[in-house]
Amino acid sequence: MEYSDIRNGRNPGVGLRTVAWAGVVLFLIASNFSTECRAQTVTFHHPWVHGQAVMQNLAAEYTRQTGVRVQVTALNPQGYNPWTDGVQPDIIGLSYPNRGTIARNAQAGRLSNMSPDLVQAWYADLWPGPVAVFELSGTEAPAGRPGTYGIPLTAFVRVFVYNREMFRRAGVSPPRTWSDFLLASSRIRGIGIVPMAGGVEGTYPAFPLIYERSYLGNHYLLQTYFGRLPYTDTRWRNQFRVYSEMRQYQLTTVGAAQMTRANAQRFLLDGNCAVILDGPWFESMRRTYRPTFTNWGVFGPPDDRRAPFLASAPGGVAEGVVINSRSRNRAAAVRFIRWLTMPAQQVRLANGMGSIPISEQASQSPALASHLRVFTPYMRYAAQDLRYHEDPAVLNRLYQGARNVIGGTETPAQALNATQRLAR
């Protein structure tokens, strides 16, 4: 357009441009209106079929309180992949996620960083261990943006579940230290039963997780997984001394030790062993398999004072949620998730899910089922699973080595050397 055209009042393009700008404005208004309308419905997909009922109840409650509709959908946990099913929910539920899962999805751009929303008042009431699963460091987070890419809704922890009657008969009390545990196992063995079953099984070797962390801590575990510390290091050898002592004191047998969790539960309920490593799921088995067995209790991992770090119980996230990075209701989704982590909802959620509340206040609530409440004290240092950094084959060899040491077919050095050879 020339200056003279304007001066003469002639502007040949003005009509077309006016229409274009009006279209843009209308689109923005409509888009905003549409967003507001969708904000009234938060979509939430999860794989927790057993918890669908309580989730729907909570969603209905939330709608009543806030007017925001939450559409909860339970998907088949088999092959559950919420990012590829064609539907993009605002909130995505995950079962037993680890940092590896979160990091991969975050790096893929699927997760929204919730750090800006995690105010202190919210964050302070959550068990730190499970939350740490979602806390990605600079190297793990996408484009070097460290942050919290999800929130746990419930947690789990595995501690020692024992038969009180057998302990009474053996004349022992729940041990606090590793040496006490070994002495107690001798006494229990004296009454003709296997002291402990399970814990060194293949899928989730809870027992090694306890003492690996106690002897190596998160740091040296990661150092090992990253290849910076060989499995032949003194720390590992010291840790494997535990398996030798298990054998020496007949704490368990090879067969008992490699029992799956369900078999070990039944083994305990049948009165064949005194101790298993289990979590809140034990109650489910007890109710269905032997509801008359009520004289049971739990104790935390006996602390090996020779180890530099605390013998903490393995634990982590049972049910967690992330916000879809494509969510258009992110703010509403965050508010709903925060609502779910509040103590009142946490009690209902934990009782319904059969898991431990992620809220510390809810964990101490009398309304929480007693069989869950007995596990909550061990959430304080619940150890997250870092094994996703290691090659599963190496880990299999490591735990096989542990079982071999317990069974006496390998020495700790042999087992560790073999593992190390594989790790290379």
Rounded distance, CA 70 to CA 205, Å? Answer: 38
* Smallest separation, CB 297 to another protein (Å): 17
Rounded distance, CA 142 to CA 134, Å? Answer: 13
| Cβ-based burial of 22 (10 A; exposed 0-12, middle 13-18, buried ≥19) | exposed
Residue number with CB closer to another protein (161 or 383)? 383
Residue number with CB closer to another protein (110 or 213)? 213
* Smallest separation, CB 239 to another protein (Å): 12
Phi first, then psi, for residue 147 (nearest 5°) are 175, -175
9 phi-psi bin (left φ>0, alpha ψ -120 to 50, beta other): left
Strand partners, 319: 95, 154
- Nearest Cα neighbor of 148 from 316, 321, 341, 319 is 321
- Nearest Cα neighbor of 355 from 364, 345, 347, 365 is 347
* Smallest separation, CB 77 to another protein (Å): 30
* Smallest separation, CB 152 to another protein (Å): 17
| Cβ-based burial of 4 (10 A; exposed 0-12, middle 13-18, buried ≥19) | exposed
Work out whether strand 151-157 and strand 356-357 pair parallel, antiparallel, or are unpaired: antiparallel
Residue number with CB closer to another protein (175 or 198)? 175
User: Following CA atoms 47, 96, 263, 380 in sequence, which dihedral angle do they give, to the nearest 10 degrees?
Assistant: -140
* Smallest separation, CB 385 to another protein (Å): 13
Residue number with CB closer to another protein (62 or 127)? 127
Which residues contact another protein by CB under 8 A? Answer: 128, 213-214, 216-221, 300, 303, 305-310, 312, 377, 380-381, 383
DSSP for 135-155, please give it: EE-TTTSGGG--EE--EEEEE
Residue 201 · residue 259 · CB < 8 Å: yes
Residue number with CB closer to another protein (34 or 361)? 361
* Smallest separation, CB 399 to another protein (Å): 20
Residue number with CB closer to another protein (56 or 177)? 177
Residue number with CB closer to another protein (102 or 193)? 102
Strand partners, 157: 315
* Smallest separation, CB 257 to another protein (Å): 24
* Smallest separation, CB 103 to another protein (Å): 18
Residue number with CB closer to another protein (279 or 314)? 314
Work out whether strand 273-278 and strand 194-197 pair parallel, antiparallel, or are unpaired: parallel
Q: How far apart are the first and last CA of the chain?
A: 72
Amino acid of residue 356: I
| Cβ-based burial of 254 (10 A; exposed 0-12, middle 13-18, buried ≥19) | middle
* Smallest separation, CB 221 to another protein (Å): 8
> Which H or E run includes 249?
none
Residue number with CB closer to another protein (214 or 324)? 214
* Smallest separation, CB 388 to another protein (Å): 17
Residue number with CB closer to another protein (260 or 364)? 364
Reduce the secondary structure of 387-407 to three states and give it as a string.
HHHCCHHHHHHHHHHHHHHHH
